[in-house]
């Protein structure tokens, strides 16, 4: 790259999230006229999102996690030297040294981040003892996990629990070892820690607190044996150290920069080190005796460093370390002085619900007017509201406890209109409500425009819901009609289209778009409206999705009634209601899998999935399965997937109700329901909750007097705990309540909106849902029950219907003009079964 005579050489050591954010500041604000920028990244990957690092184990690769396109640096005239580590800084010569050469600098920024702390335990360097920090670390963990059955995390803090979640995702029996008396000791107190422990143990993760490992040696049944201070032992195949982080300040130490007593490069408000030519930002920087381990403070440091480099006056003045987390599917929130030990005279309010497993704590000023801190475990629903009270010094309600106590009506929340202009909406990018208003006044017309202009919600993503509510409110306050159309083809929401279809009895997409579509658009629709309308039509009239009029509305999975896999083959998932299956049916599945060379897997939803079916074989496979009494499992559709159950009172000595019988009955009742998103049920025979019902859209737990009903939970990318909806229902009350709930969800939810998100967006939340469903406040319960009964009465197995129609079977071939199978599908053998090569 060419350098002009007026440019200075700026070197940035570190290409993590904070270092990359500094590059963005330089590029977007015209600073490359002043500086020729070179970035050294020790890792082979370009900057990636460490906040969502665990998603690497659930399908996202390095490119998906990357913070920029592959050619971003080259197009921006910034030199990125990936995989080249700086080994020395020569301050006298103003050069950095790598194993490939010496590079001069005028200004230098250290963004070297931190490294995992590994306790000095004898044996900590054994093969299979790893850390959890980079993509390469995760590759190493995955490689060991392939031949392991058990894993241990050393460290029960934020990173430790995130690592535990990753090991569970790799199907390892997982344990967490923490030296302190509780998990996450920095974020939660004893009460919160005990509840957090209960919730994590309920997920099948063993928790050992007040536990110090003395040595690691050869195991007998497993690869490693961990020996604790009391000589108790724990054997495991994989050990991951996640016991905290330390600033990567060795380069600074070696070149004589000022270092804090406990590590970290000392910086001032301009992020300048003891050498005015060198700056430090992110987790390596020590400001006012503090290291900031979150991305938002790092971004603020990057902005301050940029200002210093261009002669601006932006300064780093510390950062709020409040955080909202989802660990192992468990909500944890911490705001301000959550422990209440920084403010003498502070008063505290606590709320604990051991049944719903929720703990909330408020720390308020002695006069009860200001929020000083808060702690949440089990439900972060009030986090955004509490954060705004704290961040903006808003005076608390007359009864502060009302903010954390269960509400008989809508919870007291701060709407967008009540927030001051100074309210911080996105702390990662330092975007206030005033910034959003200015962006809208400057011409931004929608949420996307605001995000592009301000970058709000593009960091950790925790402010997404709040940002949307503020943008919509401010647009409407300016007289702008906030467009909620489902797409360009229909000037209606999904709910509006549902009402039109139901009221007018419209049964085809063609009729709907002719009567109610946008006349200026193409009449074929798009990938947004077609599946949405297809789902609505199926919900209302339950006609076969394989009918000629409906086939164009389906995506690939619904078209072929099977999930397409990564190599172009398909999965076969027959329904196994409640997980109960006869020996004869098990034999049939084995015979089919063997005949068609299918990979077989027992899933977490109590089904047996068969993978690797070729498109042309699907009709023959299903013919055999249907002849044996199986039905489609709807694994491909936005519909009821499974009803998971424990063995209940039939076998279990703790069971108080027949959970298997109830699960089978419910699955058979709702198996034909099409909905805005997939739905999962769970039925537990007692409060020990072996079916994990409280992580499902519909969760049912047996009591001595009937059934407790939980709603709006889910797993997935954003897990959410279900909420208690009704107690001690008898069988008929239970299914009537579920009928109403599900049909109200189908009627009012947005497209591809899970029940949890739908419930969060309902005005009045859970209290409103109870009024509608339990108290019939809208007078529609009878109608909802009739609609559900129509769906139940018109059910038919889609595969049984398809294989009986020769015309429909014509779709099941790889090539229109050739009956031969797809030659590009190549398989290899692994653990005695075939998988994609």
pLDDT digits (tens, 9 = 90+) for 701-735: 999 999 999 999 987 656 788 999 999 999 999 99
Closest CA to 704 of 659, 657, 661: 657
β-pairing, 265-267 with 285-287?
parallel
How far apart are the C-alpha atoms of 285 and 225, rounded to whole Å?
37
Whether the per-residue pLDDT at 408 is higher than 50: the answer is no
Q: Are 573 and 607 a contacting pair, CB within 8 Å?
A: yes
How far apart are the C-alpha atoms of 105 and 111, rounded to whole Å?
15
Q: Is 692 left (phi over 0), alpha (psi -120 to 50) or beta?
A: left
- Residue 324 φ/ψ, nearest 5 degrees: -120, 125
Whether the per-residue pLDDT at 440 is higher than 60: the answer is yes
Tokens of 144: 């060991």
Domain residue ranges of the chain, discontinuous segments joined by +: 8-114+247-310, 129-243, 320-414, 419-483, 494-554
Q: What percent of the chain has pLDDT over 90?
A: 50
Q: Which residue has the higher pLDDT, 28 or 81?
A: 81
Task: Identify the pLDDT of residue 718.
Answer: 64
**Tens-place pLDDT, residues 556-594:** 788 888 888 877 788 899 999 988 899 999 999 999 999
Q: How far, rounded to the nearest angstrom, does the alpha carbon of residue 718 sit from its chain's CA centroid?
A: 3
Four-point Cα dihedral 512, 516, 522, 523, nearest 10:
20
Whether the per-residue pLDDT at 284 is higher than 90: the answer is yes
| Chain length of the chain | 837
Report the DSSP beta bridge partners of residue 330.
Answer: 327
Task: Identify the pLDDT of residue 157.
Answer: 87
Whether the per-residue pLDDT at 375 is higher than 80: the answer is yes
CA geometry: angle at 65 spanning 760 and 271, to 5°?
Answer: 95
Closest CA to 262 of 249, 243, 279, 251: 249
Q: What is the CATH number of domain 8-114+247-310?
A: 3.50.50.60
Whether the per-residue pLDDT at 482 is higher than 80: the answer is no
> Taking residues 660-688, what's their average pLDDT?
93
Question: Of 39-48, 166-175, 320-329, 599-608, which range is least confident?
Answer: 320-329
How far apart are the C-alpha atoms of 87 and 89, rounded to whole Å?
7
Tokens of 464: 């997404």
Closest CA to 35 of 96, 76, 83, 93: 76
**Tens-place pLDDT, residues 630-641:** 999 998 889 999
Cβ atoms within 10 A of the Cβ of 834, count? 15
Whether the per-residue pLDDT at 821 is higher than 70: the answer is no
Task: Identify the pLDDT of residue 661.
Answer: 94
Whether the per-residue pLDDT at 2 is higher than 70: the answer is no
The confidence band for 392, taking pLDDT boundaries of 50, 70 and 90, is confident
- Average pLDDT taken over every residue of the chain: 88
Q: Are 609 and 601 a contacting pair, CB within 8 Å?
A: yes
Task: Identify the pLDDT of residue 150.
Answer: 95
Question: Of 11-25, 62-76, 277-291, 654-668, which range is least confident?
Answer: 62-76
> Taking residues 59-87, what's their average pLDDT?
89
How far apart are the C-alpha atoms of 211 and 49, rounded to whole Å?
32
How far apart are the C-alpha atoms of 514 and 494, rounded to whole Å?
17
Q: Are 473 and 416 a contacting pair, CB within 8 Å?
A: yes
Assigned fold of 129-243: FAD/NAD(P)-binding domain (3.50.50)
Tokens of 268: 């001032």
Q: From residue 676, how far is each of 77, 123, 428, 510, 805 by CA, in Å?
A: 46, 52, 32, 20, 28
Question: Of 97-111, 297-311, 801-815, which range is least confident?
Answer: 801-815
Task: Identify the pLDDT of residue 606.
Answer: 85
Sequence-ordered strand ranges (E) for 83-203: 86-90, 95-98, 101-104, 107-110, 114-116, 129-131, 150-154, 173-177
> Taking residues 260-271, what's their average pLDDT?
95
Q: Which residue has the higher pLDDT, 837 or 170?
A: 170
Tokens of 602: 């027992």
Whether the per-residue pLDDT at 816 is higher than 60: the answer is no
CATH of 320-414, one of 3.90.1300.10, 3.60.15.10, 3.30.750.24, 3.30.390.30: 3.30.390.30
Task: Identify the pLDDT of residue 777.
Answer: 92
Question: Of 177-186, 190-199, 476-485, which range is least confident?
Answer: 476-485
Task: Identify the pLDDT of residue 441.
Answer: 85
Whether the per-residue pLDDT at 1 is higher than 60: the answer is no
> Taking residues 373-381, what's their average pLDDT?
88
Q: Are 799 and 561 a contacting pair, CB within 8 Å?
A: yes
Q: How far, rounded to the nearest angstrom, does the alpha carbon of residue 430 sit from its chain's CA centroid?
A: 23
Domains 8-114+247-310 and 129-243 equal at CATH topology level: yes
472 CB contacts (<8 Å, ≥6 apart)? 416, 447, 482
Whether the per-residue pLDDT at 411 is higher than 50: the answer is no
The confidence band for 410, taking pLDDT boundaries of 50, 70 and 90, is very low
Closest CA to 696 of 732, 672, 657, 670: 670
How far apart are the C-alpha atoms of 246 and 114, rounded to whole Å?
5
> Taking residues 544-567, what's their average pLDDT?
81
> Taking residues 398-413, what's their average pLDDT?
69
Task: Identify the pLDDT of residue 731.
Answer: 95
The confidence band for 822, taking pLDDT boundaries of 50, 70 and 90, is low
- Exposed e or buried b for every residue in 375-396, given b needs 16+ CB within 10 A? bbbbbbbbbbbbbbbbbbebeb
What is the C-alpha R_g of the chain? Answer: 29
Closest CA to 15 of 61, 71, 79, 74: 79
Looking at the whole model, is its pTM more than 0.85?
no
- Please tell me the CATH superfamily of domain 419-483, with its number: BFD-like [2Fe-2S]-binding domain (1.10.10.1100)
């Amino acid at each position: 790259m060419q350098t002009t005579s007026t440019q200075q050489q700026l070197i940035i050591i570190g290409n993590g999230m904070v270092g990359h954010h500094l590059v963005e500041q330089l590029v977007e604000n015209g600073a490359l006229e002043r500086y020729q920028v070179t970035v050294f990244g020790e890792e082979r990957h370009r900057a990636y999102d460490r906040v969502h690092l665990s998603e690497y184990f659930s399908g996202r690769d390095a490119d998906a996690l990357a913070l920029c396109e592959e050619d971003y640096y080259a197009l921006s005239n910034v030199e990125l030297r990936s995989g080249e580590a700086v080994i020395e800084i020569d301050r006298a010569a103003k050069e950095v040294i790598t194993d490939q050469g010496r590079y001069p600098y005028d200004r230098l920024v250290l963004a070297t981040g931190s490294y995992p702390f590994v306790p000095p335990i004898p044996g900590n360097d054994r093969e299979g003892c790893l850390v959890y920090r980079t993509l390469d670390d995760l590759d190493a963990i995955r490689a060991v996990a392939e031949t392991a059955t058990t894993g241990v995390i050393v460290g029960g803090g934020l990173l430790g629990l995130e690592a535990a979640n990753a090991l569970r995702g790799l199907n390892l029996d997982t344990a967490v070892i923490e030296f302190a008396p509780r998990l996450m000791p920095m974020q939660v107190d004893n009460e919160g820690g005990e509840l957090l422990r209960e919730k994590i143990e309920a997920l099948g993760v063993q928790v050992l607190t007040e536990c110090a490992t003395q040595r690691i040696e050869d195991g007998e049944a497993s690869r490693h044996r961990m020996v604790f201070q009391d000589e108790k032992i724990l054997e495991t195949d994989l050990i991951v150290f996640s016991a905290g982080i330390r600033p990567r300040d060795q380069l600074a130490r070696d070149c004589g920069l000022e270092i804090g007593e406990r590590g970290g490069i000392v910086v001032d408000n301009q992020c300048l080190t003891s050498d005015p030519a060198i700056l430090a930002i992110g987790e390596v920087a020590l400001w006012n005796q503090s290291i900031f381990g979150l991305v938002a403070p790092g971004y603020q440091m990057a902005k301050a460093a940029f200002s210093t480099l261009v002669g601006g006056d932006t300064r780093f003045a510390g950062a709020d370390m409040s955080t909202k987390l989802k660990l192992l599917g468990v909500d944890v929130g911490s705001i301000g002085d959550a422990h209440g030990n920084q403010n003498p005279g502070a008063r505290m309010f606590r709320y604990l619900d051991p049944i719903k497993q929720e703990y909330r704590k408020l720390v308020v000023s002695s006069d009860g007017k200001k929020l000083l801190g808060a702690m949440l475990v089990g439900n972060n629903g009030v986090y955004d509201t509490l954060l705004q009270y704290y961040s903006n010094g808003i005076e608390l309600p007359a009864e502060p406890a009302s903010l954390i106590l269960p509400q008989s009506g809508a919870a007291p929340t701060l709407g967008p209109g009540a927030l001051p202009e100074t309210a911080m909406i996105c702390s990662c990018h330092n975007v206030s409500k005033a910034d959003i208003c200015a962006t809208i006044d400057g011409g931004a017309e929608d949420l996307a425009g605001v995000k592009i202009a301000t970058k709000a919600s593009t960091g950790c993503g925790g402010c997404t819901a709040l940002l949307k509510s503020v943008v919509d409110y401010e647009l409407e306050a300016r007289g702008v009609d906030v467009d909620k159309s489902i797409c360009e083809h229909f000037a209606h929401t999904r709910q509006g289209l549902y009402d039109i279809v139901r009221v007018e009895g419209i049964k085809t997409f063609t009729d709907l778009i002719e009567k109610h579509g946008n006349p200026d658009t193409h009449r074929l629709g798009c990938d947004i409206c077609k599946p949405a309308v297809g789902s609505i039509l199926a919900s209302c009239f339950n006609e076969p999705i394989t009918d000629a009029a409906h086939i164009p509305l389906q995506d690939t999975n619904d078209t072929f009634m099977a999930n397409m896999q990564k190599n172009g083959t398909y999965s076969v998932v027959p329904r196994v209601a409640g997980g109960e299956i006869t020996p004869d049916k098990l034999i049939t599945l084995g015979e089919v899998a063997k005949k068609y060379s299918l990979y077989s897997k027992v899933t977490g939803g109590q089904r047996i999935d068969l993978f690797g079916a070729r498109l042309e074989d699907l009709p023959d496979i299903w013919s055999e399965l249907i002849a044996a009494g199986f039905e489609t499992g709807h694994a491909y559709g936005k519909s009821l997937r499974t009803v998971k159950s424990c063995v209940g009172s039939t076998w279990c000595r703790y069971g108080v109700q027949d959970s298997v019988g109830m699960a089978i009955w419910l699955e058979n009742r709702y198996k034909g329901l099409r909905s805005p998103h997939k739905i999962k049920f769970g039925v537990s025979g007692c409060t020990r909750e072996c079916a994990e019902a409280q992580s499902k859209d519909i969760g049912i737990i047996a009591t001595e007097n009937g059934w407790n009903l939980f709603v709006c939970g889910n797993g997935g990318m954003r897990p959410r705990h279900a909420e208690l909806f009704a107690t001690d229902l008898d069988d008929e009350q239970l299914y009537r309540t579920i009928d109403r709930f599900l049909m109200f969800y189908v009627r009012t939810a947005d497209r591809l909106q899970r029940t949890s998100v739908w419930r969060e967006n309902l005005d009045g939340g859970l209290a409103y849902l109870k009024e509608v469903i339990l108290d019939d406040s809208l007078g529609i319960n009878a109608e909802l029950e009739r609609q559900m009964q129509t769906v139940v009465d018109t059910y038919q197995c889609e595969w049984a219907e398809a294989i009986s129609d020769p015309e429909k079977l014509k779709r099941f071939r790889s090539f229109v003009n050739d009956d031969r199978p797809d030659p590009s599908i190549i398989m290899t053998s692994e653990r005695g079964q075939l998988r994609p090569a």
